[in-house]
Structure 1
Amino acid sequence: ILDWSWPEDTGGRKDVSFTVLCKRCRQGQRVCEACRSNVRFLPRAAGLQNTTVTVGDLLAHTNYTFEIEAQNGVSQLAPTMRQYAAVTITTNQAAPSPVTVIRKDRTSRNSISLSWLEPERPNGIILDYEVKYYQKQEQETSYTILRSKGCNVTLGGLKADTAYLLQIRARTAAGYGASSRSFEFETSPDSFSISSESSQVVLIAISSSVAIILLTVLLYVVIGRFCGYSKSKQPDEKRLHFGNGHLRLPGIRTYVDPHTYEDPSQAVHEFAKELDASCIAIDKVVGAGEFGEVCSGRLRLPNKKEICVAIKTLKAGYTDKQRRDFLSEASIMGQFDHPNIIRLEGVVTRSKPVMIVTEYMENGSLDSFLKKHDAQFTGIQLVGMLRGIASGMRYLSDMGYVHRDLAARNILVNSNLVCKVSDFGLSRVLEDDPEAAYTTRGGKIPIRWTAPEAISYRKFTSASDAWSYGIVLWEVMSYGERPYWEMSNQDVIKAVDEGYRLPPPMDCPAALYQLMLDCWQKERNNRPKFEQIVSILDKLIRNPGSLKITANTSSRPANLLLDRSSSEVVPSLDTMGDWLDSVRTLPCKEAFSGVSYSSCDTLPKTSAEDLKKVGVTIVGPQKNIVSSIKALESHSKNGPVPV
C-alpha cells in the first residue's frame, strides 16, 4: 500500500490526478525495467483522484521502485523532464516455487546420488531442501525424509534393482514451497555397474590423479633445486616456509579475491563458517557501520564455551549488491589466520538479519583508545602495539593482500593491549568514509594516510601500505592526534608532493621517527618491507635504552608549509627570551613589538588569525601563540628551542 501527500503547489488548477509507475531493478542492470503486466493496482495506476493505491501480485524478495507523478490539464505542455516522488522497497520472502529439474549423478546397488536446480523463483534465501522418497510398489505407505543444505543428496540403504519415487521441496524463512512432481529412479542390479555419468566421473578422477602425481613430482624437483640454492645463497629467513599445511613459494599469491567469483555467495561459504542464528545472543548496539548496526553479544556453539563477539548486521531493505559487498568482508577475513588480524567467527546468511560475527575487542579502535589514555603508556608498550600491527601487515603482505586503508581507526585493541588489523571491506572504493576525499581520477580514498602514487595513479601495493603504516606510527606516538591537523586534503596532497613530512611527535624516540621517514620515502621501492619493520621494532624492544634518545630539530624535515619568500633563517636559540628577540627581526616583528618576556603569561594572547595578517603561519594543532610558545618552552628544557 502506497500513500503520499498532496502537492504543495497545484499550479493554480483543481484538475489534479496522480499516476503511479512501477519499475523492477534487477541485479547488475543500470536501467530498471517496467513491472510485469499482471501487477495489479487498486483502484488503478493512472488518473487517481486520491493519494493512495494498493499494488498486488508482486514477486517476493524483489526490489521495486514506484514513481508517483502529479499531473493536471497542462502537464503535457511542461518541459520534458518529469517531476515525481520515488520510493524503493523490497518485498518479503515467500515460499519458493517447486523444483522442476532433478538429475541422476550416480547409481549403485544400494545408493543413488542426485542433484537438482534451484527453483525458478526462490522468493528468498533457500534455507534447505526436503527430500522425500519411497519404493514405487509401496505407493507412499512407507517413506523416508532427508534434509539437504545444498542442491544434491545421496540416498543410501536402498534395495538393489528397485525403483524409487522421489519428491523435493525447498524452504525459505517463509516456509516450505510446493513439492516437485514425482521422479522415478532405479538402483543397479550389480554393485559394480555404474551410470554413464558416473563412468565419466571416474575417468575424470583417474586423469586428475595422474596429473596431480606428475605435478607433485615436478614440484618436488623444483623445490629440491630451490632449497639447495637457498641454503647456499640466501639467509635463513629467505628459505621456503611451510606453515598451516600450505607451501608458500616466493611471488605466489595465496589470497583469493572474492570478487573474482562468478557467484559471490560461493566465496562466502568457502571461506566463512555458517552459524545458526539461535547460537547468537545480541546484548547491545555499540555503533553504526556502513551497512547497518554494530552490536556486541555472545556466541555459544555446541560443546564449546560461550564467548563474547562483535556482530555486524545488514539493515533491512538491502539490495543484492549491498549484500554482496557486506559479505565480501567476511570472504576476505575468513582467509586470514594470525594473532594480529581480527578473527572471523562466522556468518549468518540463511536467515535475517544477515550477520558477520567476529571476535570482540574490548578497547575498541586504536585512535579512540589512545586519546582516552593520553600519555599513560611507556615507550615499550607503544612499541609493542606497533610491533603487533606490523606483524599483522607482514602476514597480509605475504598473503598478497593490500589493505589500502591502514589507519589507527581501523586497528582494534583487546583487553591485553594486543592490536589487530581490521576493516577489510574497504579495499573497495571508500564512498562513505568521512576521512576520504575525491581524487582527480575519480573515487574516494583516505588522503592523509595514502601514499602519493596511490593518490595520483591509484597504484596500491604493500609499499603504499608501508606509507600508511608510517602515518599509523605517527598517530600512536602522538596518542591519536589527527595527521596534518586541520590542513585541507588538497593542502596535504600539495605539501607532501613538495617534500613536507610530519614532524616528530613530542618526546618521540629518534629511531621511531627515522622509521616514519623511511616509510614516507617518495620512491616506493625505497620504503622498508613489513618484514624489515618487524625486525627493527624487535631490536628496539630488546634494547629499550635506544628509546631514550628523542628526535630533535636536526631530524625534523624542512617545513615546506611555511612562507618561502623570506630568505632569513632563524638559528637554534637557547632561551625563550632569545627566541623573542630574534622574532622581532623578522617580517612578523609587528606582532611582537613592545613585548617583553619574563614568562609565557606575560605574552599577549595573539590569535593565529592575527599572525596570518603579518605572514606567520602556526603549523600544528595549536591555535594560540601563547600555547604554542608554552609547548616550545617545555620542549626546550632538553635542548635548543625548535623554531
Structure 2
Amino acid sequence: MAALFCQCDTNYYRSASDRPSASCTRPPSAPVNALSSVNGTSVNMEWSPPSSTGGRSDIRYNVICRKCAWESSQCEACGNRIRFNPKQMGLTEPAISVINLLAHTNYTLKVEAVNGVSDLSLEPRQFISLNVTTNQAAPSQILVIKQENTSQNSVTLMWHEPDQPNGIILEYEIKYFEKGKEQQSYSTLKARGTSVTVSNLKPGTRYVFQVRARTSAGCGRFSQTVEIETGKSVSLRYDTTTIIWICFALVTGLIVLLAMFICKKRRCGYSKAFQDPDEEKMYYQNGHLRFPDPKIYVDPHTYEDPSQAVREFAREIEASRIKIEKVIGSGEFGEVCYGRLKLPAKREIPVALKTLKSGYTEKQRRDFLSEASIMGQFDHPNIIRLEGVVTRSKPVMIVTDYMENGSLDSFLRRHDGQFTVIQLVGMLRGIAAGMKYLSDLGYIHRDLAARNILVNSNLVCKVSDFGLSRILEDDPDAAYTTTGGKIPIRWTAPEAIAYRKFSSASDVWSYGVVMWEVTSYGERPYWNMTNRDVIKSVEEGYRLPAPMGCPAALHQLMLDCWQKDRNERPKFIQIVSVLDKLIRNPTTLKIIDTTSRLNSPFLNRNIPNFTSFASVDEWLDVIKMGRYKDNFAAAGYLSLGLVMRMNIE
C-alpha cells in the first residue's frame, strides 16, 4: 500500500501549516552584506536576504542587541529602554533603526533570518553580527524638579542628574517666566550643580520653571514645567530714624564691597575673568542678551614665583587620599602610576599619577609643576582633567583622570582596522572640540599629535601633554631648526618650522596630521622619510595622500588644514561643524578618496613620463627616491615596464 506522504530527511521539515504533500524545507542561512551607520545614540542597519532561503518564501528577521565591555568579551542584554523601529522580531524588510542607546558604548547587533520551520530545527540559528560604538549625544531630560525653599523674592530649586548624561555635564540651564507671560519675556540662568536659587522675583507671583542639562554634544530637552508662587509681601512701617540708619548701612556696605573689588583687581594683575565658580548667569529680557565675560588663559611663566601659579590653578591633595597601585610607564621626570583617589564626600575614582623622582633640582620641580598650572585652567570633556597636585610631601605628584586605553597612536595600532569610519570620525570630532576650547582660551598647544591624545574606555579622546619645551629634548621625531630649539617636524606647520610662528592656525596644520594618523590606524606620517626630506617635500607642495579606505571628505579636510597660507586654513570651530555634518550624514563618508593617492612619492603627478628614463635607477633618482634602488631590485622590479604594471595593479 502506497504512503499518503513522504517522511522528511534529517534536518528537513514541514511546518504545521504545510500540506502533507508539501516539499520538505529547512531553516535559512544567515543574512549577508550587513551595513550600519551611527548617528549619535542611534544606529541604522540594513542587510541583504540570506543566500539560502531553505526552500521557503516566508523569511523573517530578528535582531538581538548586546552591550559589551570594550576590552573584554563580557556582554549583557541591552535592556528595556532600547527602541527598535519598526520592531525587533519578525521583520519583513531587511532594515531597522535601533534608538535610545547609551553614548560612547560598544554594542553587538546580531541579525538572524528565520522561516516557518526554524522553530522545529535543533541546529543553532544562523546570524550575521555587527559591532558598533555610539557617539556623543545630548543628555536625557531631567525628570523631577523639587522646590527646596521659597521667599518673597527668591525660589530655591533642586533636581537630579539626568538618567542618561551621555558625557560630562558642563552646566544646567534654568528657564523661568511669570505664568502666562512666556511670549512676552523669559529669563534664564546657568548653574554648575544640581541646585540653584533664582532671585529678584516679584512677591506673590506665580512663576514657571524648567531645567535642562548641557554636555559638549549640546543641550538636552527642557524638563516638564513646575509652577511655584513666591511669598506675598508684608507692609512694614518705619519711623524716620530707622529709615536713615538703614540707608546708612546700605551705603557703608556698598563702599566696603567696592573697596574689596578694587583690591582684588589690583592683586590679580592679569586679564583673567572674575566668575562665580558655582553659577554663571545669562539673562534674556525684552530681547536683550548679556553674556558672561570670556575666560582667558594665563601663562604661568609670567608669574615671578611659579609656585604661585600652582597654588592659584591647582588643588592641593593630601597624599593620604591617594592609593598607588601599580607603575604603568615612565615620564620625563619620573614614573607614571595608576592609583585610586578618594576625596571627602565623593566616590573613589581611578587616577593617573605623574611622580617627580627623588634628587630633583628646584628648576626641575618648577618645570614639572608648570604643566599642572596649565592643565588646572582647563575644563572640557575632551581635555585631560587635572584632579590636583601633591607638593607638601614626597613624592611630588600631578594627579589626572585615568585613561584606560592609553595614547591614541598605540591604541589604533593595537586595533588596526577594527573601527567603522563613523567611529573614527567621532574620535576626530572629540579632538577638534578640545582644540576649539583651547583656541577660544587663547592657548596654543604646539605639539598636537596622536601620541599626545589619550583614550578612555568609552573611546572618548582627550588632548593632553602641555609641556612641549621639556618633552621634545628626547623626542626622536623632533629636530633642531634654523631658529633654534626642537620642533616635531612631521606635525608642524611650515611657518612654525622656519620662523617659529606658532598659532592656532599651526595647531590646525598639526590636527590635519592627526586626522591622517587616525585614518591610517597610527601609521607614521611621511613613513621613513628623513626630517630634512619632509621639510623640503612639504615646502615644494607635497601633501600626504589619503590612507587606504579614507573617505574623500576627510582627506579634503586634511588638505584644507595643510594650506600653505595659514589664513586659508579652517578654524577649529569650522572643523567641528564639518565633522558634525559628516556624522549626521554618514552616506557622505562612503565616497572613498583614490585619486589623491597619486600624490604619493611613487606616483607624483609632476613626475615626467616613464619613456624619458633609461632605467629604474634613473627614475628613482629623479623622484628623489634613489635610496630605494636595492629594495626595487630585491623585489624583482628590474625594468620600467614591471614598475608600470605594479602601479596599475
* 2-structure distance, mates of 1:590, 1:485: 22
* 1-structure distance, mates of 2:263, 2:391: 37
Instruction: Quote the offset at 1:269 in angstroms.
Output: 1.1
* 1-structure distance, mates of 2:490, 2:498: 13
Match of 1:468 among 486, 500, 510: 510
Query: Where does residue 532 of structure 1 map in the other structure?
Result: 574
Query: Where does residue 508 of structure 1 map in the other structure?
Result: 550
How many residues get paired? 372
1:425 aligns with 2:470: no
Match of 2:532 among 479, 482, 490: 490
Matches within 5 A, 1:344-359: 344-359=386-401
Instruction: Quote the offset at 1:212 in angstroms.
Output: 9.8
The range that moved more, 425-434 or 272-281, is 425-434
Contact persistence 1:438–1:444 (CA under 8 A): yes
SS at match of 1:402: coil
Query: Where does residue 427 of structure 2 map in the other structure?
Result: 385
Instruction: Quote the offset at 1:305 in angstroms.
Output: 1.3
Contact persistence 1:382–1:476 (CA under 8 A): yes
Flag the 1:298–1:446 CA change in 2: closer, same or farther, 3 A: same
Flag the 1:209–1:513 CA change in 2: closer, same or farther, 3 A: closer
Flag the 1:302–1:468 CA change in 2: closer, same or farther, 3 A: same
SS at match of 2:372: helix
SS at match of 2:473: coil
1:266 aligns with 2:308: yes
* 2-structure distance, mates of 1:483, 1:430: 17
The range that moved more, 404-413 or 491-500, is 491-500
1:542 aligns with 2:550: no
SS at match of 2:580: helix
Query: Where does residue 567 of structure 1 map in the other structure?
Result: 608
* 2-structure distance, mates of 1:550, 1:618: 31
Contact persistence 2:452–2:463 (CA under 8 A): yes
Matches within 5 A, 1:259-298: 259-298=301-340
Query: Where does residue 617 of structure 1 map in the other structure?
Result: 625
Instruction: Quote the offset at 1:425 in angstroms.
Output: 1.5
The amino acid that maps onto 1:506 is M
SS at match of 1:294: strand
The amino acid that maps onto 1:341 is I
Instruction: Quote the offset at 1:433 in angstroms.
Output: 2.1
Q: CA RMSD in A?
A: 3.7
* 2-structure distance, mates of 1:330, 1:286: 20
* 2-structure distance, mates of 1:357, 1:315: 15
1:323 aligns with 2:331: no
* 2-structure distance, mates of 1:261, 1:628: 64
Query: What does the per-residue CA deviation read over 1:600-622, in whole Å, with 9 as the maximum and x for residues that have no partner?
Result: xxxxxxxxxx98579783999x9
Query: What does the per-residue CA deviation read over 1:70-102, in whole Å, with 9 as the maximum and x for residues that have no partner?
Result: xxxxxxxxxxxxxxxxxxxxxxxxxxxxxxxxx
Instruction: Quote the offset at 1:319 in angstroms.
Output: 1.0
The amino acid that maps onto 1:537 is L
Query: What does the per-residue CA deviation read over 1:142-196, in whole Å, with 9 as the maximum and x for residues that have no partner?
Result: xxxxxxxxxxxxxxxxxxxxxxxxxxxxxxxxxxxxxxxxxxxxxxxxxxxxxxx
Instruction: Quote the offset at 1:282 in angstroms.
Output: 1.1
Matches within 5 A, 1:188-199: none
Contact persistence 1:587–1:614 (CA under 8 A): no
Contact persistence 1:495–1:560 (CA under 8 A): no
Highest RCO, 1 vs 2 (Cα 8 Å, sep ≥ 6)? 2
Query: Where does residue 79 of structure 1 map in the other structure?
Result: none
Query: Where does residue 450 of structure 1 map in the other structure?
Result: 492
* 2-structure distance, mates of 1:615, 1:398: 42
Instruction: Quote the offset at 1:400 in angstroms.
Output: 0.6
Instruction: Quote the offset at 1:404 in angstroms.
Output: 0.3
Give unpaired runs (5+ residues) of structure 2.
1-253, 266-273, 275-282, 638-643
Query: Where does residue 178 of structure 2 map in the other structure?
Result: none
Query: Where does residue 376 of structure 2 map in the other structure?
Result: 334
Match of 2:298 among 256, 263, 266: 256
Contact persistence 1:344–1:357 (CA under 8 A): yes
Instruction: Quote the offset at 1:532 in angstroms.
Output: 0.1
Instruction: Quote the offset at 1:518 in angstroms.
Output: 0.2
Flag the 1:626–1:474 CA change in 2: closer, same or farther, 3 A: farther
Instruction: Quote the offset at 1:436 in angstroms.
Output: 0.9
Instruction: Quote the offset at 1:558 in angstroms.
Output: 7.5
Greater Rg, structure 1 or structure 2? 1
* 1-structure distance, mates of 2:534, 2:411: 25
Contact persistence 1:588–1:614 (CA under 8 A): no
Query: What does the per-residue CA deviation read over 1:319-361, in whole Å, with 9 as the maximum and x for residues that have no partner?
Result: 1111111001001001100000001111000011100000000
Match of 1:247 among 293, 304, 307: 293
Instruction: Quote the offset at 1:567 in angstroms.
Output: 3.2
Query: What does the per-residue CA deviation read over 1:235-273, in whole Å, with 9 as the maximum and x for residues that have no partner?
Result: xxxx98x4xxx522xxxx600111111111111111111
Contact persistence 1:429–1:444 (CA under 8 A): no
Flag the 1:384–1:628 CA change in 2: closer, same or farther, 3 A: farther
Contact persistence 2:334–2:354 (CA under 8 A): yes
Query: Where does residue 114 of structure 1 map in the other structure?
Result: none
The amino acid that maps onto 1:247 is D
Query: What does the per-residue CA deviation read over 1:40-77, in whole Å, with 9 as the maximum and x for residues that have no partner?
Result: xxxxxxxxxxxxxxxxxxxxxxxxxxxxxxxxxxxxxx
The amino acid that maps onto 2:376 is G
Instruction: Quote the offset at 1:431 in angstroms.
Output: 1.9
Contact persistence 2:598–2:605 (CA under 8 A): no
Flag the 1:615–1:210 CA change in 2: closer, same or farther, 3 A: closer
Give the TM-score normalised by structure 1. Answer: 0.53
Contact persistence 1:437–1:489 (CA under 8 A): yes
Flag the 1:589–1:490 CA change in 2: closer, same or farther, 3 A: closer
* 1-structure distance, mates of 2:532, 2:579: 33
* 2-structure distance, mates of 1:335, 1:504: 36
Flag the 1:613–1:320 CA change in 2: closer, same or farther, 3 A: same
SS at match of 2:338: strand
Query: Where does residue 77 of structure 1 map in the other structure?
Result: none
Flag the 1:616–1:563 CA change in 2: closer, same or farther, 3 A: farther
SS at match of 2:457: coil
* 2-structure distance, mates of 1:369, 1:625: 35
Query: Where does residue 31 of structure 1 map in the other structure?
Result: none
1:394 aligns with 2:431: no
* 1-structure distance, mates of 2:261, 2:526: 59
Instruction: Quote the offset at 1:587 in angstroms.
Output: 2.3
SS at match of 2:301: helix
The amino acid that maps onto 1:467 is W
Contact persistence 1:429–1:443 (CA under 8 A): no
Instruction: Quote the offset at 1:561 in angstroms.
Output: 9.4
Query: Where does residue 376 of structure 1 map in the other structure?
Result: 418
1:439 aligns with 2:465: no
Contact persistence 1:513–1:551 (CA under 8 A): yes
1:299 aligns with 2:341: yes
The amino acid that maps onto 1:567 is P
SS at match of 2:513: helix
